[in-house]
Structure 1
Amino acid sequence: MSIMLDVKDLNVYYGVIHALKGVSFHVNKGEIVTLIGANGAGKTTTLQTITGLIPAQSGSVMYNGREIIHTPGHQLVANGLAHVPEGRRVFATLSVYQNLMLGAYTRKDKDGIEATLKTVYEHFPRLLERKNQMAGTLSGGEQQMLAMGRALMSNPEMVVLDEPSMGLSPIYVNEIFNIIEKIHDSGVTVLLVEQNANKALSIADRAYVLETGNITIEGAAQDLANDPKVKAAYLSE
């Protein structure tokens, strides 16, 4: 199995705070890998460093065999790596359709873009129903769908998802996780950061536990779901 994303010894500082302390992990092509951990453990910082939103002090991020630690974000999107940020970050004053088309801004293949749009609407029928609605008027769950749909419009090989279920009702949480599995089944590799460890481990192949900037446990997702330490810290209902 080939490694798609290889993160080695990542160190990140916010001023004097050492936020990531030598974080290393990898994602194989075709996997769903999840990072779980408490608030403030460094999960979002890890994703933002991988996709160039935060500079790393040191370390390496290899994507498809190429170092990307200083690669600008738009270039990463063009190379097949899409990021769905925490908090959705949709363009509130633009329509659903306009938001989706912005996701395809690195592409020139008109027919391909139309085909991807059709697929996105199949994944998210609600976006088709609301395609002319302003994104800011959608519910939280619908905005999450839009953020995911927008990322898929770039036709990515890999999607990095940051807290996709945050703030959503249980019905939407189930829907979002079903869609993540569908996206994965269509051939997209997934790196998932998620507060809902139960849900994340239920769909992931492998998992890493992040604690105050360090990876402390790693293994098959099923093994972590049954690990007494992980259960006690993250899986209490």
Structure 2
Amino acid sequence: MLKLKNVHTYYDNIHALKGIDLVINRGEIVTLIGSNGAGKTTTLGTITGLLKPKTGKIFYNDKEMTGIIPGEIVKRGISLSPEGREVFPQLSIHDNLRLGAYTRKNKKEIEESYDMVYELFPRLKERKNQVSKTLSGGEQQMLAIARALMAKPEVLLLDEPSLGLSPNLVQMIFKLIKDINNLGTTILLVEQNAKMALRVADRAYVLETGKIIMEGDAKKLLNDENVKKAYLGNL
């Protein structure tokens, strides 16, 4: 469904991604784990067109989309919930969601998407007219994910959805990730909480200094001694 083939991405002279090969199949949750600076967010930025790879190719549904502008990528079915939430602070929850659907024209389908995200996130429905800057960190994270879902993506990219949240909220966010996947959305999850990410994912890639150093079944990687020592601490 989504493939990266030998992708190299640079920030000026910094070689951030060094020949990434990545495959996400329809219906999967795939997680990309690694330490700070490994290239996880760069990978998502390259997929979404925010960064242009110097070499390599990106394919989506068997069509190349390397170098396509971000808005067109959203129209094709790939949506991002960014690191740090990045909600529009002065706007209400409902208006944030409206902006998530900016590429869509069918009003009936957009209303159906509102119903869907409010069912997934009842806390947002209760506060839909509340200004977003007044929300808690967990509520803002829910809003960022819900806004990405308003684009009606086939593939949802999640960048550090549990960052800065309390343990209870982390559990809630990961349950929501599973629920979203069960509704038919394919997910690529970037997470520093490798333990939780591997528990929820089908497959995983381990990224280190811009290179994939390990890949495979997420549950097997969860029990791999090298992964435990490097990323999971004591289980």
TM-score (norm 2): 0.98
Choose from 172, 176, 179 the match for 1:175.
Answer: 172
Residues of 2 paired with 1:35 and 1:203: CA distance? 12
Match of 1:139 in 2: 136
Compare 202-211 and 102-111 and name the one that shifted more: 102-111
Match of 1:10 in 2: 7
Choose from 114, 120, 123 the match for 1:123.
Answer: 120
Match of 2:159 in 1: 162
Residues of 1 paired with 2:156 and 2:192: CA distance? 17
Choose from 41, 45, 48 the match for 2:42.
Answer: 45
Match of 1:212 in 2: 209
Deviations along 1:59-105, one digit per CA (max 9) or x if unpaired, are 11101111112111111111111011111110001100000011111
- Runs of 4+ in structure 1 deviating by more than 6 angstroms, as ranges, are none
Match of 1:95 in 2: 92
Query: Does residue 184 of structure 2 align to residue 196 of structure 1?
Result: no
Deviations along 1:152-172, one digit per CA (max 9) or x if unpaired, are 111111101000000111111
Residues of 1 paired with 2:71 and 2:168: CA distance? 33
Query: Does residue 58 of structure 2 align to residue 61 of structure 1?
Result: yes
Offset at residue 114 of structure 1 (A) = 0.8
Deviations along 1:11-67, one digit per CA (max 9) or x if unpaired, are 111122111100111000010000000000000000001101111111111011111
State the SS of the aligned residue for 1:105: coil
Q: Which amino acid in structure 2 is aligned with residue 98 of structure 1? A: D
Residues of 2 paired with 1:166 and 1:131: CA distance? 23
Residues of 2 paired with 1:141 and 1:71: CA distance? 32
Residues of 2 paired with 1:132 and 1:182: CA distance? 25
Residues of 1 paired with 2:165 and 2:15: CA distance? 31
Residues of 2 paired with 1:185 and 1:99: CA distance? 24
Match of 1:110 in 2: 107
Deviations along 1:164-219, one digit per CA (max 9) or x if unpaired, are 00011111111110000000000000000000000000010000000000000000
Offset at residue 146 of structure 1 (A) = 0.3
Residues of 2 paired with 1:72 and 1:16: CA distance? 22
Residues of 2 paired with 1:95 and 1:136: CA distance? 9
Compare 61-70 and 221-230 and name the one that shifted more: 61-70
Offset at residue 147 of structure 1 (A) = 0.5
Choose from 25, 30, 35 the match for 2:32.
Answer: 35
Residues of 2 paired with 1:33 and 1:214: CA distance? 17
Residues of 1 paired with 2:65 and 2:79: CA distance? 13
Query: Does residue 190 of structure 2 align to residue 187 of structure 1?
Result: no
RMSD over equivalenced CA pairs, Å: 0.7
In structure 1, list runs of 5 or more residues that go unmatched: none
